[in-house]
């Protein structure tokens, strides 16, 4: 108290001698400098975290490649790896050419809106990009935004790759990827993330259970329907198991995807907010754990065996299921959502076989079925979310994605054709389309 009195007395003397205004000016400048410093620190922290998250999302493509190669026959390994290498390459380029400007159209909102300004910055005038605290309310820079979103874009097409593997023409798949990632995915994404009608409706999809995973899942479903099953899969009214060649490779892929999901969901916070990011990483992890548990026990009950493949797909199912709501649910709710996703993925795989829809890696079950579940679960469990906007979003995005995929695949089917010859499929796409095998010593198929 005595110290306070002395300081107050000194302050009174300052005002009485006319020194108050110069002192206040100095104090104001110091406060402004401190405020600027804090803003710079926050901008730097946000950018570093989002760029790290973008790198984690990028490494997911190696995870997809490993899962798909492991779950398919060795004679098609090079073809699988080739597709999963070209998918991010083409996806990122087409996203830069069209997708980013379609998804975030700025003042050009609408179904066919296109952001002229962002396209001009990317290709013609990069110096005009906002790299200050003025972009995205000071959260991150223009280039950080583009790189992070570009990493997401190719994921939708990668989902399709695994489902249609071992019998689709490389030219048909790559053409589909160009159009689907460049046009269909970003238009649907703009409805929520670009401030479109789903956003105004109150639809919630934090990191893309529907906008990424279900969109990719619908493409996969239409693809396997129009392609037809692999030779020998459903002969004589029975379902034959066409075993993958490397369970260890598939396992490595799943763990890479799990790791990448920390960037997928954690980066979607769009800042380095430690409280929210750490919650998202927690719910993401528990969602994966719930999916593995659900997949394990459901496969034991429904298939009468301990199916490791269903545990692996259960992990991915839980991750997809949690993606829409990871920031607005509790850890317990994350475990529940992931667990139900793990249950659903098993029954979905069994149903697709009954319908003679041949999905090599379970992509439709993981990404479409569990993406729909995760989006609807957000309306049930998510704080501030409502069920009807979630249902409406699932239906609107599903209709658009399915129609878009049907048009693209349908045109390709009647022009260049979708499927390789029976001889090519029998001997393997590696030898016929690439001229090399994935292994020096052939792994028995």
Tens of pLDDT along 240-299?
989 999 999 999 999 999 999 999 999 999 999 999 999 999 999 999 999 999 999 999
Whether 113 shows a pLDDT value over 70: the answer reads no
Q: 218 and 398 in contact (C-beta within 8 Å)? A: yes
- Asked if the structure places residue 27 within a domain, the reply is no
- Asked if the structure places residue 88 within a domain, the reply is yes
- DSSP string spanning 73-92? -GGGHHHHHHHHHHHHHHHH
- Asked if the structure places residue 8 within a domain, the reply is no
Residue whose C-alpha is closest to residue 342's, from 370, 363, 368: 370
Average pLDDT over residues 132-139: 75
Share of the chain above pLDDT 90, in %: 75
Q: 211 and 192 in contact (C-beta within 8 Å)? A: yes
- Asked if the structure places residue 22 within a domain, the reply is no
Residue located via tokens 């991010």: 88
Residue 243, number of CB atoms within 10 A of its CB: 12
Biggest CA-to-CA distance, the chain = 103
Q: 411: domain range?
A: 35-434
- Asked if the structure places residue 25 within a domain, the reply is no
d(CA 285, CA 156): 22
Domain count, the chain: 1
Burial letters 108-145, b for 16+ CB under 10 A, else e: bbeeebbbeebbebbeeeeeebeeebebbeebbbbbbb
d(CA 357, CA 365): 11
- Asked if the structure places residue 215 within a domain, the reply is yes
DSSP for residue 361: S
Whether 33 shows a pLDDT value over 60: the answer reads no
Specify the CATH number for the domain of residue 412: 1.10.3430.10
What is the pLDDT at residue 156? 81
Tens of pLDDT along 202-251?
999 999 999 999 999 999 999 999 999 999 999 888 889 899 999 999 99
Average pLDDT over residues 10-22: 43
What is the pLDDT at residue 30? 53
R_g of the chain, CA atoms, integer Å: 25
Q: Alpha helix (H) ranges present in 17-141? A: 20-70, 77-94, 100-103, 116-123
What is the pLDDT at residue 95? 93
- Asked if the structure places residue 1 within a domain, the reply is no
- Asked if the structure places residue 441 within a domain, the reply is no
Structure pTM? 0.89
Q: 75 and 95 in contact (C-beta within 8 Å)? A: no
What does the mean pLDDT of the chain come to?
A: 89
d(CA 316, CA 311): 9
Tens of pLDDT along 17-26?
444 444 434 4
């Amino acid at each position: 108290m005595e110290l306070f009195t002395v300081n107050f007395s000194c302050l009174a003397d300052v005002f009485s001698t006319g020194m108050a205004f110069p002192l206040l000016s100095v104090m104001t400048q110091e406060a402004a400098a401190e405020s600027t410093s804090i803003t710079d620190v926050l901008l730097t922290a946000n950018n570093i975290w989002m760029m790290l998250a973008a790198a984690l999302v990028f490494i997911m493509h190696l995870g997809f490649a490993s899962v798909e190669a492991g779950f398919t026959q060795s004679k098609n390994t090079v073809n699988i790896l080739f597709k999963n290498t070209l998918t991010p390459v083409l996806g990122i380029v087409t996203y830069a050419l069209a997708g980013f400007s379609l998804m975030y159209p700025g003042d050009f909102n609408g179904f066919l809106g296109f952001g002229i300004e962002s396209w001009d910055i990317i290709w013609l005038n990069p110096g005009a990009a906002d790299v200050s605290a003025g972009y995205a309310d000071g959260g991150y820079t223009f280039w950080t935004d583009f790189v992070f979103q570009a990493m997401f874009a190719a994921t939708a097409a990668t989902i399709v790759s695994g489902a249609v593997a071992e019998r689709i023409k490389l030219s048909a798949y790559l053409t589909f990827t160009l159009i689907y990632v460049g046009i269909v995915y970003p238009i649907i994404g703009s409805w929520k993330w670009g401030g479109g009608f789903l956003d105004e409706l109150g639809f919630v999809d934090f990191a893309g259970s529907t906008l990424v995973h279900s969109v990719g899942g619908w493409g996969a479903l239409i693809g396997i329907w129009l392609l037809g099953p692999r030779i020998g899969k459903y002969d004589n009214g029975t379902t034959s198991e066409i075993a993958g060649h490397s369970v260890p490779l598939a396992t490595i892929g799943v763990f890479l995807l799990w790791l990448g999901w920390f960037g997928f969901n954690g980066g979607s916070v769009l800042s380095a907010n430690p409280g929210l990011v750490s919650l998202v990483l927690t719910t993401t992890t528990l969602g994966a754990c719930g999916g593995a548990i659900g997949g394990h026990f459901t496969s034991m009950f429904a298939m009468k065996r301990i199916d490791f493949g269903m545990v692996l797909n259960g992990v991915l199912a839980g991750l997809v299921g949690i993606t829409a709501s990871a920031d607005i649910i509790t850890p317990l709710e994350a475990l529940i959502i992931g667990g139900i996703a793990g249950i659903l993925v098993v029954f979905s795989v069994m149903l697709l076989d009954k319908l003679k829809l041949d999905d090599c890696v379970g992509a439709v079950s993981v990404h479409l079925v569990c993406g729909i579940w995760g989006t609807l679960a957000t309306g049930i469990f998510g704080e501030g979310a409502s069920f009807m906007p979630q249902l409406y979003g699932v239906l609107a995005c599903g209709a658009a994605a399915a129609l878009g995929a049907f048009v693209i695949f349908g045109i390709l089917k009647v022009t260049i054709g979708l499927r390789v010859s029976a001889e090519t499929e029998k001997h393997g796409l590696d030898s016929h389309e690439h001229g090399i095998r994935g292994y020096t010593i052939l792994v028995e198929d």
